[in-house]
Chains A and B, each alone.
Chain A
Amino acid sequence: MAKTILEMDNITKTFPGVKALDNVNFKVEEGEIHFLVGENGAGKSTLMKVLSGVYPYGEYEGDIVYQGKVQQFHKINDSVDVGIAIIYQELALFPDLSVYENIYIGNEVKHNGIINWNQTIVKAKDMLKKVNLKVKPETLIKDLGVGKQQLIEIAKALSKEVKLLILDEPTAALNEDDSENLLELIKELKKQGITCIMISHKLKEVVAIADKATILRDGQTICTLEKAKGEIDEKTIIRHMVGREMNQIYPKRENHEIGDTILELKNWSAYDGQLGRHVVKNADLKLNRGEIIGISGLMGAGRTELALSMFGNPKNYKLKGDLVLNQQPVHFKHTSDAIKAGMAYVTEDRKGNGLFLLQNITKNVSASKLQGIAHHGIINNNEEIKIAEHYKNSLHIKASSIEQLVGKLSGGNQQKVSLGKWLFAGPNILILDEPTRGIDVGAKFEIYTVMNELVEKGLSIIMISSELGEVLGMSDRVYVMAEGEIKGELDSQSADQEKIMELATQ
């Protein structure tokens, strides 16, 4: 029986209004590869942040027992000092510094405060050998691919004499070869006695290299599967991941007629020059009049990117393939073209790129169709007020008045303002990106009701959502994305949580 290296007992972590972790128990034995699996928002990353001290001692309840001792990490360095290293999905490297500088940053090879660069380079070479990476230590990070950067991160962790290595979705941004490489390396590290916790959405990987897999769902530990007992296979994992009861009620649509195809994507690809990879690959998709289609998938599957690439391409992706609107191929040069063509996009990140937080409700609602309230470029304030009042009442936005700053509203009401803003633009096609993220049940129901009213009027809706219940409850058809590709299409009768998750974790 191997020694237990880490035990997290009854960890509870609450954010305002949400219990992100609810009495989670998590046990890792020395020298094993242990996967954490769960849907978006299941609490995996939060648990790892508790472990690494991002959420310091006192902000959570429960105990962390590491190497037989109860630990109290007050800051990230406390966990680093005892040999815990975490590598996030977004790499924390300095692109303009060299490989050796990156490996030893914060952990410099120094004598009386003076850095010994020559020794640093020698040591860095050793570390690079350990991760099987053949690059010169002088290479700048920005000149390396993502796969190699990932390895540099690991080398950096190794240089700190790590005992417990945590990787948060390390292969999400990697191609097949690089992923393979990384998994091999992790097996190699296991032989050297390093314990590894991995968060991953790719179940193939779990099946391939996991010794154990703990499944989280809605902030609770569901079970731990063991390879030794033959428990780790994709079906079993999926069953445990999604086994949620459908307790949310979705309003039913009345006389709901589906018309002709209004939007079609043919072999649609988007290449992100900055990331140096395709964020959308060969997507084929159809949207009919009066229809709600759901786009499901896990984080990083390329759903938001798909929406942006259709909606005037604000991120300047290199696009390939056809976007067909009402049987006419279209090329949008700017988001304003997409809006003119009858599209609207309610963003995932309300505060970041959806709303003008320092402006009031009135100005937010009118922002995407200013010419609609203006005559010869001069704004008719009375008209604007009428429209803002209209949406405040019809969407039940709770605010003291339409002059209230949007930044001071609750999440649900902000979402309604965002929705109102786009309804005012008068679209035929409404793209909703995570329309109910972070809002309460009552507001969710109201938004669903509005969605139903809209499709009854003949609008078409593309709903991007990570909530399986919502996707199943609201969509006529579901597309599932993973790694930028559409992995499958399901109709509302045949779709269920297991099928979606199977496609999403390919």
Chain B
Amino acid sequence: MKILQETQQLIKDNIRDYGMYIALFVIMLTFNMMTDGTFMSSRNISNLLDSAGYIAVLAVGMTLVIVIRHIDLSVGYVAGFLGAIAAILLMQQGLSIYLVIPIILALGIIIGLANGFLIAQLGIPAFVASLAGMLIFRGALLKVTEGTGTIIVQNEVFNALGNGFIPSLGMVNARHLLTIIIGVLGVLFFVYSELKTRHDKVKYNFDVISVPIFAVKLTLISLIIAYITWILAGYNGFSWTLMIVLFVTIVYHFISNKTVLGRQIYAVGSNPEAAHLSGINVKKITYLVMGSMSMLAALSGILYTARLQSATTTAGMLFELDAIAAAYVGGVSSAGGVGKVTGAIIGAIVMASLTNGMNLLGVGISYQYMIRGGVLAGAVIFDVLTRKRGK
């Protein structure tokens, strides 16, 4: 009885976070039933996560941009343009890939700092500044691909970033060994960090959830990680894209939760004036967040170019809107100061699942857009309603 009450209270308090996971779960289950298990097959899940990758990294950066009450519309064509530059440097200039990637990321940072200059220094609304950037980089992409058209990338290492898988180190029962090892490590790390957090909270006499519920939570999430690992291990294992997305997520999650910088970002978003009066340099934070956004756009461009194994003249089109949608589905608030990096990833997976599932079902493209729009509106409505009740 007590456990039931606690569960109810827990769901009530965290409805926004849980709602997103439940929605993802329902979407996946529904598609799985409708496709007779094809949706959750090893091959499809692997494909789905890879196709979400280049939007997911954008959504992570976009979440922080929206947290500090700005927006960046230029990320799509920045990704497209820098992807094309990467292809040119690799194929036409013959530079080493180990040089090309840092160059592209650095160019991304420079573009982001330029955005930051317009927004923080000159006080131009981010919407307009980045709209200008969007047009400029769309033009720049056309310009650099003008002579050649689509640039085919013939570099195995580069293309592996979008299509390749981590080495297996041998197969066990037709399962990918290294993937299983990483999965097991992931579960162990998760259990350890949860136990440590709980231990600390107990030390300070904070309220913690009761042991049975805690155990259920641990088991459930561990099982999910294990299950996804198991599925992927049955195909080609973890892809490089997935590893990169995981890496970006972990780094950004750490920065936003554990560092002074992260705290300052949320403080600026929560109340810029109070942040300024607390000695936080609001301009510097704006520069950093915009710089990080375009760096991730560069990464997105690399992932996308590698996935297609070519740089096209229309690469990057509408990425920005997909990223913004993923961030909002992931629970970011345009009022500022609220939104999680992990939420953005889930948001990106929700949107990719919808596309993937509807493709499997053969839903027409017209309906696909409408349904995705509906899900986005639904997520934001849910957000607004739960927030209102919270007050």
- What is the interface of chain A, defined by CB distance below 8 A to chain B? 311-312, 314, 334-336, 338-340, 345, 347, 352-359, 363, 366-368, 370-371, 374, 377-379, 381-382, 385-386, 389, 401, 403, 407, 421, 425
Q: Assuming A356-B337, A358-B270, what are 6 further A-B pairs, CB within 8 angstroms?
A: A311-B277, A314-B273, A352-B273, A367-B274, A378-B259, A407-B391
- The CB with the most chain B CB atoms within 10 A, among A340, A356, A368, A389, is that of A356
State whether A355 and B266 are in contact (beta carbons under 8 Å apart), knowing that A336-B279, A336-B281, A368-B279 are contacts in the complex: no
- The CB with the most chain B CB atoms within 10 A, among A339, A367, A374, is that of A367
> Could you tell me the distance between the alpha carbons of A345 and B277 in the complex, rounded to whole angstroms?
8
A311 / chain B contacts, CB cutoff of 8 Å:
277
Contact B206 A401 (CB under 8 A): yes
Contact B338 A358 (CB under 8 A): yes
B267 / chain A contacts, CB cutoff of 8 Å:
356, 359, 363, 367
Contact A377 B271 (CB under 8 A): no
> Could you tell me the distance between the alpha carbons of A377 and B261 in the complex, rounded to whole angstroms?
7
State whether A354 and B274 are in contact (beta carbons under 8 Å apart), knowing that A339-B279, A389-B204 are contacts in the complex: yes
A333's closest neighbor in chain B, by CB?
B281
B389 / chain A contacts, CB cutoff of 8 Å:
none
Instruction: Please tell me the number of chain B residues within 8 Å of chain A, measured between CB atoms.
Output: 26
Render B26-65 as a binary contact track against A, CB cut-off 8 A, 1 for contact.
0000000000000000000000000000000000000000
- Give 30 A-B contacts (CB < 8 Å), ordered by A residue: A311-B277, A312-B279, A314-B276, A334-B279, A334-B281, A335-B279, A336-B279, A338-B279, A345-B277, A352-B273, A353-B273, A353-B277, A354-B277, A356-B267, A356-B337, A357-B270, A358-B337, A358-B338, A359-B267, A359-B270, A363-B266, A363-B267, A367-B267, A367-B278, A374-B260, A378-B258, A381-B258, A386-B204, A407-B391, A425-B279
> Could you tell me the distance between the alpha carbons of A371 and B275 in the complex, rounded to whole angstroms?
15
Nearest 10 A/B pairs, CB to CB: A336-B279, A353-B273, A356-B270, A368-B278, A339-B279, A370-B260, A367-B278, A374-B260, A335-B279, A353-B274
Chain B 272-297 residues near chain A, CB threshold 8 A: 273-281
> Could you tell me the distance between the alpha carbons of A227 and B149 in the complex, rounded to whole angstroms?
89
Interface assignment of B264: CB less than 8 Å from any CB of chain A: yes
Interface assignment of B263: CB less than 8 Å from any CB of chain A: yes
B270 / chain A contacts, CB cutoff of 8 Å:
356-359
Contact A347 B263 (CB under 8 A): no
Distance to closest chain A CB from B275 (angstroms): 8
Contact partner of A335 (CB less than 8 A), chosen from B261, B263, B278, is B278
Interface assignment of B207: CB less than 8 Å from any CB of chain A: yes
A353 / chain B contacts, CB cutoff of 8 Å:
271, 273-274, 277
B337 / chain A contacts, CB cutoff of 8 Å:
356, 358-359
Chain B 199-213 residues near chain A, CB threshold 8 A: 200, 204, 206-207
Distance to closest chain A CB from B9 (angstroms): 13
A308's closest neighbor in chain B, by CB?
B277
A359 / chain B contacts, CB cutoff of 8 Å:
266-267, 270, 337
> Could you tell me the distance between the alpha carbons of A377 and B254 in the complex, rounded to whole angstroms?
11
B279 / chain A contacts, CB cutoff of 8 Å:
312, 334-336, 338-340, 368, 425
> Could you tell me the distance between the alpha carbons of A338 and B280 in the complex, rounded to whole angstroms?
12
A334 / chain B contacts, CB cutoff of 8 Å:
279, 281
Distance to closest chain A CB from B333 (angstroms): 9
Contact A357 B271 (CB under 8 A): yes
State whether A363 and B263 are in contact (beta carbons under 8 Å apart), knowing that A354-B274, A357-B271 are contacts in the complex: yes
Contact A355 B206 (CB under 8 A): no
Distance to closest chain B CB from A237 (angstroms): 37
State whether A370 and B264 are in contact (beta carbons under 8 Å apart), knowing that A356-B270, A356-B337, A403-B206 are contacts in the complex: yes
State whether A356 and B260 are in contact (beta carbons under 8 Å apart), knowing that A336-B279, A367-B267 are contacts in the complex: no
Render B288-315 as a binary contact track against A, CB cut-off 8 A, 1 for contact.
0000000000000000000000000000
Contact B259 A377 (CB under 8 A): yes
- The CB with the most chain B CB atoms within 10 A, among A358, A382, A389, is that of A358
Contact B263 A379 (CB under 8 A): yes
> Could you tell me the distance between the alpha carbons of A389 and B280 in the complex, rounded to whole angstroms?
23
B204 / chain A contacts, CB cutoff of 8 Å:
382, 385-386, 389
Distance to closest chain B CB from A332 (angstroms): 10
A340 / chain B contacts, CB cutoff of 8 Å:
279
> Could you tell me the distance between the alpha carbons of A192 and B71 in the complex, rounded to whole angstroms?
56
State whether A374 and B200 are in contact (beta carbons under 8 Å apart), knowing that A356-B274, A358-B337 are contacts in the complex: no
> Could you tell me the distance between the alpha carbons of A197 and B123 in the complex, rounded to whole angstroms?
41
Distance to closest chain A CB from B261 (angstroms): 6
> Could you tell me the distance between the alpha carbons of A314 and B281 in the complex, rounded to whole angstroms?
10
Contact A355 B200 (CB under 8 A): no
> Could you tell me the distance between the alpha carbons of A356 and B263 in the complex, rounded to whole angstroms?
11
A374 / chain B contacts, CB cutoff of 8 Å:
259-260
Contact A370 B206 (CB under 8 A): no
B262's closest neighbor in chain A, by CB?
A379
B277 / chain A contacts, CB cutoff of 8 Å:
311, 314, 335, 345, 347, 353-354
- The CB with the most chain A CB atoms within 10 A, among B204, B275, B278, is that of B278
> Could you tell me the distance between the alpha carbons of A51 and B261 in the complex, rounded to whole angstroms?
51
Render B247-262 as a binary contact track against A, CB cut-off 8 A, 1 for contact.
0000000000011110
A403's closest neighbor in chain B, by CB?
B206
Contact A379 B280 (CB under 8 A): no
Contact A371 B260 (CB under 8 A): yes
State whether A355 and B271 are in contact (beta carbons under 8 Å apart), knowing that A345-B277, A401-B207, A421-B278 are contacts in the complex: yes
Contact A379 B259 (CB under 8 A): yes
- The CB with the most chain A CB atoms within 10 A, among B206, B261, B264, B270, is that of B270
> Could you tell me the distance between the alpha carbons of A389 and B200 in the complex, rounded to whole angstroms?
14
B335's closest neighbor in chain A, by CB?
A358
B261 / chain A contacts, CB cutoff of 8 Å:
377
Distance to closest chain A CB from B103 (angstroms): 27
Distance to closest chain A CB from B64 (angstroms): 16
> Could you tell me the distance between the alpha carbons of A345 and B279 in the complex, rounded to whole angstroms?
10
A354 / chain B contacts, CB cutoff of 8 Å:
274, 277
A338 / chain B contacts, CB cutoff of 8 Å:
279
> Could you tell me the distance between the alpha carbons of A355 and B272 in the complex, rounded to whole angstroms?
10
Contact B274 A355 (CB under 8 A): yes
> Could you tell me the distance between the alpha carbons of A367 and B267 in the complex, rounded to whole angstroms?
8
Contact A367 B338 (CB under 8 A): no
B266 / chain A contacts, CB cutoff of 8 Å:
356, 359, 363
Contact B258 A379 (CB under 8 A): yes
Distance to closest chain A CB from B223 (angstroms): 28
> Could you tell me the distance between the alpha carbons of A374 and B204 in the complex, rounded to whole angstroms?
19
> Could you tell me the distance between the alpha carbons of A421 and B281 in the complex, rounded to whole angstroms?
17
B206 / chain A contacts, CB cutoff of 8 Å:
401, 403
B264 / chain A contacts, CB cutoff of 8 Å:
370
- The CB with the most chain A CB atoms within 10 A, among B207, B258, B277, is that of B277
> Could you tell me the distance between the alpha carbons of A381 and B280 in the complex, rounded to whole angstroms?
20
Contact partner of A367 (CB less than 8 A), chosen from B258, B263, B391, is B263
B276's closest neighbor in chain A, by CB?
A314
> Could you tell me the distance between the alpha carbons of A386 and B206 in the complex, rounded to whole angstroms?
12
A370's closest neighbor in chain B, by CB?
B260
B263's closest neighbor in chain A, by CB?
A370
> Could you tell me the distance between the alpha carbons of A374 and B255 in the complex, rounded to whole angstroms?
13
B273's closest neighbor in chain A, by CB?
A353
A359's closest neighbor in chain B, by CB?
B270
Distance to closest chain B CB from A416 (angstroms): 16
A377 / chain B contacts, CB cutoff of 8 Å:
259-261
Distance to closest chain B CB from A113 (angstroms): 34
> Could you tell me the distance between the alpha carbons of A59 and B283 in the complex, rounded to whole angstroms?
44
> Could you tell me the distance between the alpha carbons of A77 and B274 in the complex, rounded to whole angstroms?
37
B276 / chain A contacts, CB cutoff of 8 Å:
314, 335
Contact B338 A379 (CB under 8 A): no
